[in-house]
Structure formats: C-alpha cells, structure tokens
Amino acid sequence: MGKLVHIMIILACFLVFSFPFELGAVDKKAIKAIPSQGKQTISDATFREIFRDYLCQYLGKGKSDVMVSRLKVLGNKSVPPGKINIRLFQKDKRRLEGYVRLVAIISVNGVVKNKVRLSGWVDVFESVVCACRNFKKGGIIKEDDLCLVRKNISRLSPNIVTDTSKVVGLMVKHTIRKDTCIKEWMLGKPLIVKRGDMITILAESGNLRVTAPGRVLAKGHIGELIRVQNSMSNKVIYAKVINNSTVSVDF
C-alpha cells in the first residue's frame, strides 16, 4: 500500500511539472501474457514505438522525420492481468532533440502499477534554409540566393532558419559560404542611411506637414531612431528612419 501511495505521489508531481501524453489502452499484440505467474509484460519494442509517437506529437513531425537510436528501457517489470494504459511525461525541460528522457506511468484497470524510464538519442530532420552561393559581408539576401535542404537539426544550433521569407531582404553580417545553413545571427536589417547622408526631416500632425533638410549623424535601419542634424537650425535631434531619404520626428 505504501509503495502504491509513493507511486501516486510521483505521478502527481509529473502532472504538475511535465507534459502528459495519453497513449490509452495498449494493443493486445504488444502484451505478452505469463500464465504461470498470472502476469503480463509490455515489450521493449512497444516502448520504442510510443517513445517515437510522443516525439512526433509534440514536435509536430511525421514518423519519417524522427529517428530514435540507443533507446534504453529501465524498470520494465511485469504487471497484473487487466487493461493496460500508459501515460508518458517529459523528465526535464530540454529540447526534444538529441538526448531525450521520458517516464512512462503504467496503470492496469486504472490503477498505477509501475514506472518505466525511457531514454534515447533523437534525430529530427527538417528542411532548413541554406545559401545557394557565397555571400560577402554587407550583401542583401534575395529569394533566388536561398534553397531548402533536408538536414538533421538535432545536430545544428537552435537558431537555424527554416523559412526563407524570414531572411529575404536582410543584410549579411558575416561572410557566408555556399551550402552553409543560415542562422539568425548571420543576418541583420540592411542599413538604409549612413553617416553624412543628406535626408529630409519630416514632421506631421493632422493636416500639418513640415519638412526641413538634414544630415545623418549615425548609420541606421528602417524604423530605428538615429541622430540627425537640422541643416537650417544646426540643432541635433533624434528621428526615426522612414526610408533612405526621409526621417520623421514627433511634432
């Protein structure tokens, strides 16, 4: 009785801190009966399958995109006869890629009977954005410069880019070689104005519109506040970059 209470407490902890995966009743083909002992067991192959199903569900991937290797099943003991249900929980908050640990709570006829620890190496495959040519620092990314290549993202950095629309129009911050997987830190907003550029300072309020010539005192991107000098008053102010010839100020 005390052992059962202990298991129930552990289950409650997982319900609070983990993400449950309800498998439901286990297929009878996956259960091996032991008539002489009046018990039944679940095969390690079944645990491999539900381990993978859990990953596919929470990663939003198909089975062809997820590979599990070096799976370890610890604590897989026989349980009494009856209807077996399995609930899976993530043991920690790590990414579900690389080394992954899960816990399976086994219940028979609604009563918790065992806890099985699962761990294995998970490879996840996805199409990622790669460079179709060499890029020099300062270049602007165009759609034709990119291609999607299926890669094992479990072995790549978490900031890898998977959507070409998110990088088209950005500026290359570092030299990028052909076939390199694009990462977020490699790119930035393109410079629209640079120090010394002559621009128009625009101030608007309702139907009132005032403009003045000015000079850029610091480089900037679209939407960024930069220092500019009003050429008529020589006053230095902060203005928002609208385009390569206009900045705006509050009026």
pLDDT more than 90, % of the chain = 55
To 5 degrees, how large is the angle CA 173–CA 179–CA 183? 40
In whole angstroms, what is the distance from residue 182 CA to residue 159 CA?
Answer: 9
Between residues 18 and 151, the one the model is more confident about = 151
pTM confidence score: 0.60
**76-117 confidence digits (pLDDT tens):** 999 999 888 999 988 777 778 888 999 999 999 989 999 999
Q: For all residues of the chain together, what is the average pLDDT?
A: 84
- Which one is the CATH code of 2-124: 3.10.450, 3.10.129, 1.10.1670, 1.10.3470? 3.10.129
**198-232 confidence digits (pLDDT tens):** 999 999 888 888 999 999 999 998 889 999 999 99
**pLDDT mean over 38-60:** 89
Neighbours of 52 (CB within 10 A): 18
Instruction: Tell me how far the alpha carbon of residue 240 is from its chain's centroid.
Output: 32
CATH T-level topology, domain 125-188: Type Iii Antifreeze Protein Isoform Hplc 12 (3.90.1210)
Q: What are the residues facing 120 on neighbouring strands?
A: 100
- Domain boundaries defined on the chain: 2-124, 125-188, 198-249
- pLDDT at res. 34: 55
**125-146 confidence digits (pLDDT tens):** 999 999 999 999 888 899 999 9
pLDDT band at 25 (very low <50, low <70, confident <90, very high): very low
Q: Report the top-level CATH class of 198-249.
A: mainly beta
- pLDDT at res. 9: 39
Can you point out the beta strands (E) in the chain? 21-25, 31-34, 39-42, 66-74, 84-90, 98-108, 111-131, 146-152, 171-172, 187-188, 198-205, 208-216, 225-230, 236-241, 246-249
- pLDDT at res. 20: 45
